[in-house]
Structure 1
Amino acid sequence: MNFTDISIITINYNTSSLTKNFILSVEKCTSESLKIEFIVIDNCSGVNDYKKLEKDIKELNNQNIKLLRSNINLGFGGGNMLGTQYASGKYLAFINNDILFTEDCFSSLIRYHENNAKCGVSTPQQYNINNEPTSSFDYFHGIRKELFGRKLVELTSDRIKREKKHYKDSVIVDFIQGCFMFFPTSVFAEIGGYDTNLFLYYEEMDVCYRLNNKGYTSVLVPETSFQHLHGASTPKSFLIKKELKISQLYISRKNHYYLKHLIIRFSILLKTFFKPKYWGLIPILITGKYLENSLKQSQQMVFNK
């Protein structure tokens, strides 16, 4: 019998202080009636950060925290999938460690799922570090969005407009942001979880696309909210921009018929020609060798740390 309500899986990568503060905020805000467990995946951080993380977790004195260290950086999807192997909850909450709870998010999400059996994944309303509402969802990246942007998608469909505001009612969307994804464990297992071919970015769009194909919805539940510090462990660089495009192209090829993918690929190539700082993407766009050029291929195993 499953006695754990929620397994909270979070990834630490050289951000141990964030991880500690995240756990403390969840403990403070979550209803005592819910049984939760934390599964912290250290994604091959530097030795000093990992030792600090070990010390911090020990000081928290919570027997429901599991700390697991990977000897190689598995990326977002791979790290989270490692965590699922140790999860026992009825629900899985994949939450970035740069998030702070400001209220009890889980009770509202569970209530929504219990009343909406076809909801495959949900998320609360997102706020930024200045306590301003920010975007909590987006549209699937098809030809219209790639060629003409979000505005045309909004004008030519019945989708809810994506705005930086606090929505009043629950909203069914194309996909929610990956920083906070709340799944019934059975549904997550049914779709096969995250695609570990992806190292960073677009995991949430891919997951929600597969949920949609199975007849499940992705939902913003603004009854509750959280604060997101945004990208604390992924500094902006050309390599990160390249990884973003590699992931976009990979899931485009995976989830669309080939002609549609070629149109999207050509559109990205055309835009790149006018951005000299991104010309390093051109060989990848021409050859179509996406995963071969991913940061995942450059990760090295590190032992005795």
Structure 2
Amino acid sequence: MKEAAIVILNYNGEAMLRKYLPQVKSNSIYDIIVVDNGSNDASISYLQKEFPEIRLILLSENHGYSKGYNLGLAHLKDTYSYYLLLNSDVEVTGGWDQTLVGYLLQNPKVAACQPKVLSLVKKGYFDYAGAAGGFLDQLGYPFCRGRILHLLEEDKGQYNDSIELDWASGACFCVKSSIFHDFGGFNPFYFSHMEEIDLCWRMRNEGYKIHHCGATKVYHLGGGTLSQVNPLKTYLNFRNSLYMLKGNLELDGFLKVFLLRMILDVGALMHLLFTRGVSHSWAIVRAYWDFLTKSDALKSGQYKKVKHHKSAKPLAVYSIIWSYYLKGNKKYSDLN
């Protein structure tokens, strides 16, 4: 079995591949594999012409991030010990892949880790997608060291350490392949957004650990597939967050969280109505409607749902919404 593979999921991303794949190749030592989600642009011809040594796994249609990766990685099962899942719009740094795999090798109880994720758009600042490691508050809202809600911190080396997390960023996600497959991979029903948070939560519920590895960093462009201004992104974030809560909390705990989330999400709906328009606020309504009427679809996936392990890391005991808006805590360091 080979040590590791860098796996990039592509969908009509010729421009991203042209810009970032050459430096991924020059800054990495492991095999690079591209899983194509049924692209109809020139992605495939570009890869075949410019990178004939890179293995291509061709899927017939766009299955989204979650199912696309599941199907692609199924072709690699029992071939590699570790997967480095990398977004096509990420600029890596020298030795990034060796450092992440080496970290998991040195920490056998850690199932997955991420590097420090910095922004390519706002140089010198953390990126929205993962920053220096992800956490969940008591209501299941995600936040990061270096990014709380939409506020990004400047990188001053304050998060160069390696610590335990609630979740690692899917923009650059290093995971033990055996554990990934044992858990059935990402929940295929999510399509895109928050599937890595859900997988990390399921792994933690069974006693595995998720870490931030501050010894290396990558730079993320963001919005290459779905931008913040697209209502579909709002819909998927709210819907998948509810699915994640239902899938990882016991019924009594879920009901308590769900009632409070409804109140806060109504506030989010009103905020989006005045800041981004009717389409985004309606996306929240659709998310709740689909969650309430189609949640049985969660059972159709092959992913592994688990109960809390006695050593599982608990959620935070505070609300990030309350802390940010009412207490004025805008940085992760303020929460402590």
Q: TM-score, normalised by structure 2?
A: 0.72
Identity of aligned residues (%): 21
Letter in 2 for 1:174: D
Instruction: For structure 1, list consecutive stretches of 5 or more residues without a partner in the other structure.
Output: 155-161, 295-305
- The corresponding residue for 2:60 is 71
Counterparts of 1:274 and 1:114, CA distance in 2: 45
- Offset at residue 42 of structure 1 (A): 1.9
Letter in 1 for 2:27: C
Counterparts of 1:286 and 1:54, CA distance in 2: 38
- Offset at residue 233 of structure 1 (A): 1.7
Question: Does the 8 Å contact 2:9/2:36 carry over to 1?
Answer: yes
Letter in 2 for 1:38: I
> Is 1:271 matched up with 2:265?
no
Instruction: Provide closer, same or farther for how the CA distance between residues 284 and 203 of structure 1 changes in structure 2, counting only shifts above 3 A.
Output: closer
Letter in 2 for 1:96: N
Instruction: Provide closer, same or farther for how the CA distance between residues 150 and 126 of structure 1 changes in structure 2, counting only shifts above 3 A.
Output: closer
- Offset at residue 269 of structure 1 (A): 3.0
Instruction: Provide closer, same or farther for how the CA distance between residues 70 and 110 of structure 1 changes in structure 2, counting only shifts above 3 A.
Output: closer
Which of the residues 37, 43, 47 maps onto 1:53? Answer: 43
Task: Map residues 207-246 of structure 1 onto 2, 5 A cutoff.
Answer: 207-235=199-227, 236-246=229-239
> Is 1:115 matched up with 2:106?
yes
- Offset at residue 150 of structure 1 (A): 8.2
> Is 1:41 matched up with 2:28?
no
Letter in 1 for 2:136: F
- Offset at residue 41 of structure 1 (A): 2.0
Which of the residues 133, 145, 166 maps onto 1:137? Answer: 133
Counterparts of 1:255 and 1:142, CA distance in 2: 13
> Is 1:125 matched up with 2:116?
yes
Counterparts of 1:227 and 1:186, CA distance in 2: 28
- Offset at residue 291 of structure 1 (A): 5.1
> Is 1:8 matched up with 2:1?
no
Moved more, 260-269 or 93-102: 260-269
Give aligned pairs, total: 271
Which of the residues 76, 84, 97 maps onto 1:93? Answer: 84
> Is 1:285 matched up with 2:288?
yes
Letter in 2 for 1:216: Y
Letter in 1 for 2:49: E
- The corresponding residue for 2:312 is none
Counterparts of 2:219 and 2:271, CA distance in 1: 36
- Offset at residue 184 of structure 1 (A): 1.3
Counterparts of 1:232 and 1:283, CA distance in 2: 24
Letter in 1 for 2:178: S
Instruction: Provide closer, same or farther for how the CA distance between residues 275 and 100 of structure 1 changes in structure 2, counting only shifts above 3 A.
Output: closer
- The corresponding residue for 2:242 is 249
Q: Deviation above 3 Å: which 4+ runs of structure 1?
A: 286-292
Q: TM-score, normalised by structure 1?
A: 0.79
What SS does the aligned partner of 2:61 have?
Answer: coil
Counterparts of 2:287 and 2:218, CA distance in 1: 37
> Is 1:178 matched up with 2:170?
yes
Counterparts of 2:290 and 2:161, CA distance in 1: 45
- Offset at residue 274 of structure 1 (A): 4.9
- Offset at residue 9 of structure 1 (A): 1.6
Counterparts of 1:60 and 1:274, CA distance in 2: 47
Q: Give a deviation string over 1:18-71, Cα, whole Å, max 9, x none.
A: 12443322221124xxxx32221222323xx1xx222221233443x2223322
Instruction: Provide closer, same or farther for how the CA distance between residues 131 and 279 of structure 1 changes in structure 2, counting only shifts above 3 A.
Output: closer
- The corresponding residue for 1:84 is 73
Counterparts of 1:86 and 1:195, CA distance in 2: 18
Counterparts of 2:107 and 2:63, CA distance in 1: 33
Q: Which has the higher contact order (CA 8 A, sep 6+)?
A: 1
What SS does the aligned partner of 2:174 have?
Answer: strand
> Is 1:169 matched up with 2:161?
yes
- The corresponding residue for 2:313 is none
Q: Give a deviation string over 1:200-252, Cα, whole Å, max 9, x none.
A: 11111101101111211111111111111112121331222112111111112
RMSD over equivalenced CA pairs, Å: 2.7
Counterparts of 2:244 and 2:226, CA distance in 1: 21
Counterparts of 1:90 and 1:123, CA distance in 2: 17
Letter in 1 for 2:285: I
